[in-house]
Amino acid sequence: MPWELNSDRPIYIQLVEQIALMIFSGVYPLGSKLPSVRDMAKEAAVNPNTMQKALVKLEEDGLIITHRTSGRSITEDAHMLEVAKNRLAQEQISEFLGKMQKLGFDPKEILRVIQNMVKEMKK
Amino acid sequence: MSAILECRKLTKSFGSKTAISEVDLKVERGQIVGLLGPNGSGKSTLIKMVNQLLTPTSGNVFIGDKKPGIETKKIVSYLPEKNYLNDWMRVHEIIELFSDFYDNFQPKKAYDMLKKLNINAHDKLKTMSKGTKEKVQLILVMSREAELYLLDEPIGGVDPAARDYILETILGNYRENATIVISTHLISDIEKLLDYVVFIHQGQIVLTSSVDAIRDEKGKSIDALFREVFKC
Amino acid sequence: MLRKLFKYEFKATGRVFLPLFASLLAFAFISRILSVFDFQQTFPVFISHTIYIIIMAGMFVMTLTVMIQRFNKNLLSDEGYLMFTLPTNPWQHIVSKLLVSMLWITASVIAAVFTILIITYKAGAISETIRGLSLLISRLSEYWSVSASFTIFEVIIAIFSTLTSGILLIYASIAVGHLFSKHKILASFGAFIILNTLAHVLVNLISLVIKVVPLANIHISSYNFANNLPAIQMALAFGIIIAGLKSAAYFAITNFILSKRLNLE
């Protein structure tokens, strides 16, 4: 998966988001080991310090576990994953809702637009 | 631990022209720092004073609490903006020279990197293109396990492919406890690497900040902020 | 560190001098062989001799050129960026360059003498020369109370100390030139003249004060040469001391500039 990083937001936040996405989408399955900070930083072409910061944040969020001896791995706790996933989803939706409100949609209209689009997609 | 680099009221004049004026600067260990400023803002002058190649007019430089001298030269790895290698030596002879003088030089690292670039260690520098010479120089500098790397315009005047190679080499050899100072005016190319920036303009420091603070508080890229600060 | 600097200085200069010595030797041999074959001094011999002389002249010009170039280019131009970021002291650069320069000058003189011997060699000449020399030394020793070998030793020291002060004068002149932001070469020439004049004046003053330089009174002729020995020895000693003082001063100037006033632009 290619890394896409913009320069106008803190890089580590973007890394957190993208690694979380990789975990949810199964690029890094539950319980699997993560590559070293160095390797991950090199792959993303970022400063190892930044990658380190991102991984610490993911650990605080409970998605990553640090083992004292053998580096880092993805949590095995599926529930924890679910929680994090929901939180991210909620963040996305509230951002979306905010934008829609600015466009002048009220909640009912928003729901209708969504329903219509979902129907379109099913076809 | 003490700051890896500190300047106190550092000033350098050439005749009546002041290149660096009363600079106070502290660089902490374990980060990649961008020394950013337009051409002629005093970036090279500052770095050369840290390397004792220029004598300050007044003020002081400290590297890990020590004034520049033998002890600091052991822990500082410097990439000048010009080619400092003589052209009669072969690459392997220069590697021998570096391993002879610098205890922290890793010849194996250098040979590995040369091999990746298909540079023959038995070639003379005379026969190499300017771009290849620059890469050899970078390889030599990054093959040292130094505490402070001072890279003066490492990506100035090279093509995008070479630029990627150079940045990859810098990152690939970076150790977390070391400090890298990169001077450049090409900010968008390196800003993803940086932890900390120092803006320098007409010989004076105009801004020092962590990169995340700039992005968080101002919602701007370093490049955008640079354009704003140095607007003509 | 000094040993390592010496090694690289030797390498950097050896690639100029070793081929020169080799070609000098080669043409000395060629001249010799040619002159054996045709006894009359004919054209090939003339050509070979001419080339030999040109190489010899070139060799001595190169000792001076390389001495200046190695100091100016290796330390005070772009290459200085590397040399002065090596973990060494400036004095170690000066000493390594000085020693290597002296080495090549000495080697050039030896090469010149050796090749002249090759060209002019006649059977028994070498043993004849050695016999003559040892005779001379023993005769001189008989004349003088002190041993002649001491005087010869003194002469050698005098030659090397004068050579040292000469080289260091050139280094100091280049270093002074470096202090100027423009016209560095012109400034170096100026510094050379001024330093040299200053040294002359000071030496004259010193000798006036202590009045131990009877050099002017020594007329070296076969008659009273032996009688003047103490005076000669005194003069030599004085010369050595003066050269030592001059060397120390030039060295101090150069070292001060390289360590406290360096400005590589």
Q: What is the pTM of this model?
A: 0.87
In chain B, the number of structural domains is 1
CA distance C256 to chain B (A): 12
Question: Within chain A, which residues score under 70 in pLDDT?
Answer: 1-2
As a whole number of angstroms, the distance between CA B51 and CA C59 comes to 37
Q: How many CB atoms lie within 10 A of CB C30?
A: 18
Give the pLDDT mean for C188-195: 96
Task: Report the chain B residue with the minimal C-alpha distance to residue C11.
Answer: B89
Greatest extent of chain B over all pairs of C-alpha atoms, in Å: 52
**Looking at the partner chain, which of B168, B176, B191 has a beta carbon nearest the beta carbon of A49?**
B176
Chain C interface with B: residues with Cβ < 8 Å: 1, 4, 7-8, 11-12, 15, 74, 78-82, 84-89, 181, 260-265
Q: Give residues with Cβ within 8 angstroms of C101, minimum separation 6.
A: C63, C66, C67, C70, C167
CA distance B218 to chain A (A): 9
- Domain match, A72 and A85 both: no
Residue A47 within a domain: yes
Strand A64-67 relative to strand A71-74: parallel, antiparallel, unpaired? antiparallel
The ipTM is: 0.94
Which residues from A are below 8 Å from B218, CB to CB? none
Residue A85 within a domain: yes
| pLDDT for C81 beyond 90 | yes
So what's the pLDDT on residue B159?
Answer: 85
Cα angle B49, B53, B58 (rounded to 5 degrees) comes to 40
The answer to whether C83 and C9 have CB atoms below 8 angstroms apart is: no
Which residues from C are below 8 Å from B54, CB to CB? 262-265
Q: Do B84 and C78 touch (CB under 8 A)?
A: yes
Which residues from B are below 8 Å from A48, CB to CB? 171, 174, 176
Q: By C-alpha distance, which of B33, B66, B65, B62 is closest to B50? A: B62
**Looking at the partner chain, which of C7, C82, C262 has a beta carbon nearest the beta carbon of B52?**
C262
Q: Which residue has the higher pLDDT, B50 or B215?
A: B50
Condensed to tens digits (0 to 9), the pLDDT of residues A53-68 reads: 999 999 988 888 888 7
- Domain match, A20 and A39 both: yes
Q: Classify residue B66 by its DSSP letter.
A: B
Name the phi and psi angles at B159, rounded to 5: -75, 165
**Looking at the partner chain, which of B171, B222, B223 has a beta carbon nearest the beta carbon of A41?**
B171
Give the pLDDT mean for B12-19: 92
Give the pLDDT mean for B175-204: 92
Q: Does B87 touch chain C (CB under 8 A)?
A: no
Strand B196-201 relative to strand B32-36: parallel, antiparallel, unpaired? parallel
**Looking at the partner chain, which of B71, B74, B84 has a beta carbon nearest the beta carbon of C81?**
B84
Mutate to test the interface with C, among B11, B50, B79, B100 (most CBs of C within 10 A): B100
Task: Report the chain A residue with the minimal C-alpha distance to residue B212.
Answer: A10
Give the pLDDT mean for B126-147: 93
- Domain match, A27 and A71 both: yes
| Inter-CA distances, C89 with B127, C3, C153, Å | 32, 13, 32
- Domain match, A51 and A104 both: no
Q: Which residue has the higher pLDDT, C39 or B29?
A: B29
Q: By C-alpha distance, which of C177, C204, C181, C203 is closest to C189? A: C177
Give the pLDDT mean for B152-164: 87
* Residue C117 C-beta-side C-alpha neighbours within 13 Å: 13
So what's the pLDDT on residue A1?
Answer: 55
In this complex, whether C and A touch, counting 3 or more CB pairs under 8 angstroms, is no
Q: Which residues of C89-112 are buried (b: 16+ CB within 10 A; e: fewer)?
A: bbebbbbbbbbbbbbbbebbeebb
Kindly state the tokens that stand for A58.
């993911």
Q: Give residues with Cβ within 8 angstroms of C126, minimum separation 6.
A: C117
For chain B, where are the E strands, in sequence order? 5-14, 17-27, 32-36, 58-63, 76-79, 148-152, 179-184, 196-201, 204-210
Condensed to tens digits (0 to 9), the pLDDT of residues C89-105 reads: 999 999 999 999 999 99
So what's the pLDDT on residue B89?
Answer: 93
Q: Which helix (H) or strand (E) holds B51?
A: none
Which residues from B are below 8 Å from C87, CB to CB? 70-71, 73-74, 101-102
Q: Which residue has the higher pLDDT, B170 or C40?
A: B170
> What sign does the CA torsion over C99, C104, C109, C114 have?
positive
Average the pLDDT over each of B76-85, B152-161, C243-252 and give the range with the smallest value. Answer: B152-161
| Inter-CA distances, B185 with B78, B160, B199, B219, Å | 18, 15, 10, 21
- Domain match, A66 and A101 both: no
The answer to whether B179 and B34 have CB atoms below 8 angstroms apart is: no
So what's the pLDDT on residue B67?
Answer: 95
Q: Do C263 and B55 touch (CB under 8 A)?
A: yes
| Inter-CA distances, A80 with A44, A86, B167, C83, Å | 26, 10, 37, 59
CATH number at residue A37: 1.10.10.10
| pLDDT for C222 beyond 50 | no
- Domain match, A57 and A37 both: yes
Q: Classify residue C87 by its DSSP letter.
A: S
Which residues from C are below 8 Å from B134, CB to CB? none
Q: How many CB atoms lie within 10 A of CB C117?
A: 13
So what's the pLDDT on residue C145?
Answer: 57
So what's the pLDDT on residue C249?
Answer: 96
Condensed to tens digits (0 to 9), the pLDDT of residues C226-261 reads: 555 667 777 888 889 999 999 999 999 999 999 999
As a whole number of angstroms, the distance between CA C75 and CA B77 comes to 18
Q: Does A36 touch chain B (CB under 8 A)?
A: no
- Domain match, A57 and A25 both: yes
User: With helix as H, strand as E and coil as C, how does B67-106 read?
Assistant: CCCHHHHHHEEEECCCCCCCCCCEHHHHHHHHHHHCCCEC
Residue A4 within a domain: no
Q: Which helix (H) or strand (E) holds B126?
A: none
Q: Does A51 touch chain B (CB under 8 A)?
A: no
Percent of chain B with pLDDT over 70: 100
Condensed to tens digits (0 to 9), the pLDDT of residues C58-74 reads: 999 999 999 999 999 99
Name the phi and psi angles at C216, rounded to 5: -65, -25
Percent of chain A with pLDDT over 90: 20
| Residue C148's pLDDT band (cuts 50, 70, 90) | low
- Domain match, A21 and A58 both: yes
Mean pLDDT of chain C: 87
Q: Which helix (H) or strand (E) holds A105?
A: none
Q: Do B172 and A10 touch (CB under 8 A)?
A: no
Residue A2 within a domain: no
At residue B46, what is the residue type?
Answer: L
Chain C neighbours (≥3 Cβ pairs under 8 A) are B
- Domain match, A71 and A36 both: yes
In chain A, the number of structural domains is 2
Task: Report the chain B residue with the minimal C-alpha distance to residue A10.
Answer: B212
CATH number at residue B70: 3.40.50.300
The answer to whether B11 and B25 have CB atoms below 8 angstroms apart is: no
The answer to whether B12 and B68 have CB atoms below 8 angstroms apart is: no
Domain with A96 in it: 79-122
Percent of chain C with pLDDT over 90: 61
| pLDDT for B44 beyond 50 | yes
- Domain match, A68 and A86 both: no
Domain with B38 in it: 5-229
So what's the pLDDT on residue C144?
Answer: 62
- Domain match, A70 and A113 both: no
